[in-house]
Structure 1
Amino acid sequence: MPHATAPDGTRIAYQLGGRDPGNCHGGRGQGGLEGADRNEPPLLLLAGQSNNHHWWDPVRADFEAGRRTITLDYRGTGDSDMPDRVYSTTGFAEDAVAVLDDLGLDRVDVYGTSMGGRVAQWLAILHPERVRGLVLGCTSPGRTHGFERSQEIRRALAHPDQTARDAVLVDLMYTPGWVARNPGPYPVLGDAAMPAYAKGRHLVASNSHDAWEELPSIKAPTLVLHGTDDVFSPAANAQLLADRIPHARAELIPGARHAYFHEFHSLAGPLVDRFLRSFG
């Protein structure tokens, strides 16, 4: 598995998927992207807090008709290094840039969900030249101005029993009817192999996110997606972000909870794909 090296020396594992168009977009790195389609750049997919690239496994193929997809394992997850030092959403964004640099990619489309949406905000803010199109899913601008989950949910997620915590998280992610038809395993419940300190570092990074003041500087056309029944990251955050980011629009998926991109992928996937193919 290829790795990129972040500015602080941390090795970040990344994965490639999709069809090689055979005419790569500025590729010069070890990942085999030489000669990508200049009209449809690769799509960088950013997962949620304390999750690795497997977050995207059920839906990755939805975006791979004629383009490459790129995922990564955040530091502290998967096959990436796990330094016990401060993590941040800005730092995760710089890790993503290290992956793009390793692949020799100047510009990509970016789709981040949950904490990945927070990381994607910083990627578009700090490196506008690297982001052609931006999709922010089930995310928020941060605690200072965003709508937060209830204290009841926070207490339930802090239950000392892992099985109880997982049951709460499944209910926040998916509708009961879908869970009854799809008994799992679910790829969005966190990287089980993460050390406890790394989980804590991820939690602090996500909770400390605050991009409110910088959001108006985002230049990339932006689609904001959210499930109407999401209480993990309340759906009111979608319009809040769309109003704050120039050239952004919000789309709500009726009846969906936090993992709308998985349960409702037959609706969400085409929405994302059409948006990203609507400009060039």
Structure 2
Amino acid sequence: MMEAGGRTLRVAHWRLGEASEHPPILFFNGIGANIEAVAPLAEMLAERPFVMFDMPGTGESPDPTLPYNPFTMSWTANLILDQLGLGEVDVMGVSWGGAMAQHFALQYPKRTRRLVLVATTAGMLMVPGNPAALTKMANPRRYIDPKFMNEHFQTLYGGIDPDGQAHQKDSHIGRLKPPSPRGYFYQLLAMIGWTSLPALPFMSKEVLVMMGDDDQIVPLINGRILASAIRNARLEVIEGGGHLFLLTHADESVARLRTFLDAPATEAELARAA
């Protein structure tokens, strides 16, 4: 537990005390998701320090007292990095957290080296997903009722390999902890009216946009919009990947992530470092 920005938050980090040639990854999770949901990704990236936290009212973080917005939570994340003694980081976010990652990179450009946006959008200016998936997405039973989640996993997330379907679902469901009603509502409230689209053409970072072509919640077209709006963005499409392709197509996703993060510094990045 850490105190930052007037909030108590549960923070997880991996390998901060170990020597590494790579900057740490600051990860922003999807709406309502707890640290454990993404812990397998942090463990697969064994060569990199990794930091993430439970948003207020999710996982083990206490309920928020007051509503928040992307500006205040980016400020809070920046304070957490300060307390951990970290400087420049690679920033990554999935779904709701992808919007947070965009905002953090825009608010703290000097602290952000590269940006990875996974299964996400530019905010309110998005192409909506499958209505059946969105209806179930808004139902808090997906966090507290394993039977509901099991029955609707394919509708919600798509991209399930039939050979590994039972293992993938059971593994993911077993790591979930439901957010509090207030925590979930405040996460929804935080993004009302928010969009990054007007600012994206001015972003000078190297950006990787990763999307699944079977995503029922965030259709692929949203990734194309992001990649076209950001001058130094590249789009990687996971074939057969749904909203949780980081889980269902983990090896392929991590390989593409490493290729992007490990690519030599561009002339613009070298100039900024100088």
Q: Is TM-score (shorter-chain normalized) higher than 0.5?
A: yes
Which stretches of structure 1, 4 residues or more, deviate above 4 A after TM superposition?
A: 158-162, 187-190
Q: Which amino acid aligns with 1:18?
A: R
1:277 aligns with one of 231, 256, 262: 262
- Quote the offset at 1:236 in angstroms: 0.9
For 2:272, the equivalent position in structure 1 comes to: none
Distance 1:56 1:124 in 2: 21
TM-aligned CA distance change 1:189 to 1:237, over 3 Å? farther
1:105 aligns with one of 82, 86, 95: 86
Distance 1:5 1:198 in 2: 17
Whether 1:172 and 2:156 are equivalent positions in the alignment is yes
Distance 1:160 1:274 in 2: 36
| Superposition map of 1:83-102 within 5 A | 83-102=64-83
Whether 1:14 and 2:4 are equivalent positions in the alignment is no
Distance 1:140 1:100 in 2: 25
Local SS of the residue matching 1:128 = coil
For 2:133, the equivalent position in structure 1 comes to: 153
5+ residue gaps, structure 1, are: 23-36
| Superposition map of 1:255-270 within 5 A | 255-270=240-255
- Quote the offset at 1:170 in angstroms: 5.3
Q: Which amino acid aligns with 1:172?
A: L
Alignment check: 8 A CA contact 2:127 2:221 kept? yes
Whether 1:70 and 2:51 are equivalent positions in the alignment is yes
- Quote the offset at 1:229 in angstroms: 0.5
Alignment check: 8 A CA contact 2:157 2:216 kept? no
For 1:53, the equivalent position in structure 2 comes to: 35
For 1:222, the equivalent position in structure 2 comes to: 207
Alignment check: 8 A CA contact 2:132 2:155 kept? no
Query: Once superposed, what is the RMSD of the aligned Cα atoms?
Result: 2.3
Counting matched residue pairs gives 259
TM-aligned CA distance change 1:56 to 1:188, over 3 Å? farther
- Please give the per-residue CA displacement for 1:228-259, whole angstroms capped at 9, x wherever unaligned: 10021111111110111120010000001000
- Quote the offset at 1:78 in angstroms: 2.4
5+ residue gaps, structure 2, are: 266-274
Distance 1:160 1:229 in 2: 23
Query: % of aligned pairs identical?
Result: 25
Alignment check: 8 A CA contact 1:113 1:138 kept? yes
- Quote the offset at 1:137 in angstroms: 0.2
TM-aligned CA distance change 1:202 to 1:246, over 3 Å? same
For 2:2, the equivalent position in structure 1 comes to: 3
Alignment check: 8 A CA contact 2:133 2:155 kept? no
TM-score by length of 1: 0.83
TM-aligned CA distance change 1:99 to 1:279, over 3 Å? farther
Alignment check: 8 A CA contact 2:161 2:248 kept? no
- Please give the per-residue CA displacement for 1:120-167, whole angstroms capped at 9, x wherever unaligned: 0001101000110110000000122x1112433333344585547524
Q: Which amino acid aligns with 1:265?
A: A
Distance 1:120 1:153 in 2: 24
Q: Which amino acid aligns with 1:141?
A: A
For 1:140, the equivalent position in structure 2 comes to: 121
